[in-house]
Amino acid sequence: MDKLFTPVKVGDTTLHNRIVMAPMTRSRATVGDTADALTAKYYQQRASAGLIITEGSQISVQGQGYLFTPGIYNDEQVKGWELSTKAVHDAGGKIYVQLWHVGRISHPSLQKDGQLPVSSVPVKAQNATCYARNENGEPGPVPVPTPRALSIAEIQDVVQDYVRAAKNAIRAGFDGVEIHAANGYLLEQFINGGLNVRTDQYGGINPENRLRFVLEVTDAISQSIGAEKTGIRLAPFGRLFDMHAFEGEEETWLLLADKLSKRSLAYVHLSDQKTLGEQAIPDGFIDTFRAAYSGTLIVAGGFDKSRAESYLQQGKTDLIGFGRPYIANPDLAERLANDWPLNEVNRATMYGGDETGYTDYPFWSDTPGNTE
């Protein structure tokens, strides 16, 4: 049997295969930024994945950078997510929620009382937009402003926002949480040495300082819900949202790998941004990271079945994340197992809208003329 379809234990959860549905923003939470019955149907359809990681779910009002994304910071949002966790569990699946704070990739129209978004430093992300309301109140891409820098006291407040969101996730029935520390959002805005030039204990030349925030978040969540229910997503060498190369970049990521090894997390999840049109993780780095990190590893970014199986057989990773193929193929695991062809993604319906391009993609067995 292909290794892709063998069981694996992640934290305190046993998965029936090594296929992970990677987190993807879909922008369907139109009422109260709350996941609803349609969200639950979407995830239940994909429950044959070994593990589902939800779209990013903002940990606070401050953490939101896109309209219609589901939060996890109030009781109504917890109740909304309960629909999804029950639906996935009823279908035999496992599901983690991704905890999200966008940092500077936001807009005052999304912030409480029209405040500026926050970041490690007051530096604007060049050529970056979020999804907010323009001056006419219409939703759409809006250039991000220059943010303000978080104070040390505010950093500790954000840590507590993460903790509250993680506890809410367990209340909502999730099997665990994934800390979003990738893709140019808040935690990476502290990790990146090309951006974070703070002069206090949370920034500057010393990578220990730039890693302090993400490790404080990781430790606080682990202590509140258990390290075995806590995963984290990283994008080494990521360039999304105006992240830049910096001196000691590889050393920073390997230092983080070493520190995370000591924390007995459920997993570390590496995201290769090549399929997003950005720089790929350099050749050989995943092997280097693997050697530095002793825990369970997920790698995502442009995989097909053959390449996924090769990575697993070579020991480069323990699980494989699939992103966009899961948009159009709710039964992706079965399609991969049986070498059935895949549906194509309709890019026009990836973000926002109703069930069209969300829950109406056909299963193989529902397509006329297909037989197993």
220 falls within a domain: yes
Question: Phi first, then psi: what are they for 145, rounded to 5°?
Answer: -90, 180
**The pairing of beta strand 51-58 with beta strand 176-180:** unpaired
Q: Say if 100 falls within a structural domain.
A: yes
Is 371 contained in some domain?
no
How many DSSP H helices and E strands does the chain contain? 11, 14
Long-range CB contacts for residues 247-252, cutoff 8 Å, separation at least 24:
247/193, 248/193, 248/207, 249/193, 250/285, 250/288, 251/207, 252/191, 252/193, 252/207, 252/210, 252/211
Q: How far apart are CA 153 and CA 155, in angstroms?
A: 5
Domain presence at residue 88? yes
193 touches 207 (CB < 8 A)? yes
Please state, as a whole number, how many other Cβ atoms lie within 10 Å of the Cβ of residue 206: 12
Q: Where are the alpha helices (DSSP H) in 99-235?
A: 152-171, 186-191, 207-210, 212-225
Strands 8-10 and 13-15: what pairing? antiparallel
Q: Is residue 35 part of a domain?
A: yes
**Which member of 73, 185, 293, 326 is catalytic?**
185
**Amino acid occupying residue 280:** A
Measured CA to CA, the distance from residue 207 to residue 12 in angstroms comes to 31
Looking at residue 280, the DSSP 8-state letter turns out to be P
Q: Which residue has the tokens 């949370």?
A: 202
Distance CA 151, CA 198 (A): 10
Within 10 A of 259 (CB to CB), how many other CB atoms are there?
16
* pLDDT digit string (tens) for the chain, length 372 residues: 689 999 999 999 999 999 999 999 999 999 999 999 999 999 999 999 999 999 999 999 999 999 999 999 999 999 999 999 999 999 999 999 999 999 999 999 999 999 999 999 999 999 999 999 988 888 999 999 999 999 999 999 999 999 999 999 999 999 999 999 999 999 999 999 999 999 999 999 999 999 999 999 999 999 999 999 999 999 999 999 999 999 999 999 999 999 999 999 999 999 998 877 777 899 899 999 999 999 999 999 999 999 999 999 999 999 999 999 999 999 999 999 999 999 999 999 999 999 999 999 999 988 776 765
| Structural domain includes residue 372 | no
Is 202 among the domain residues?
A: yes
Judge whether 264 and 228 are in contact, CB under 8 Å: yes
Nearest to 102 by CA among 83, 86, 125: 125
Do strands 19-21 and 51-58 pair parallel, antiparallel, or not at all (unpaired)? parallel
- Judge whether 278 and 250 are in contact, CB under 8 Å: no
**Three state DSSP letters for 135-149:** CCCCEEEEECCCCEE
How many independent structural domains does the chain possess?
A: 1
Q: Is 66 a catalytic residue?
A: no
Give every CB contact of residue 303 below 8 A, 6+ residues apart in sequence: 311, 320, 321, 322
User: Is residue 225 situated within a structural domain?
Assistant: yes
Using alpha carbons only, what angle is made at residue 326 by residues 101 and 12, rounded to the nearest 5 degrees? 65
Q: Give the model's pLDDT for residue 1.
A: 65
Range of the domain at 287: 3-366
Q: Which CATH number characterizes residue 248's domain?
A: 3.20.20.70
Q: How do residues 251-273 score in pLDDT, each as one tens digit?
A: 999 999 999 999 999 999 999 98
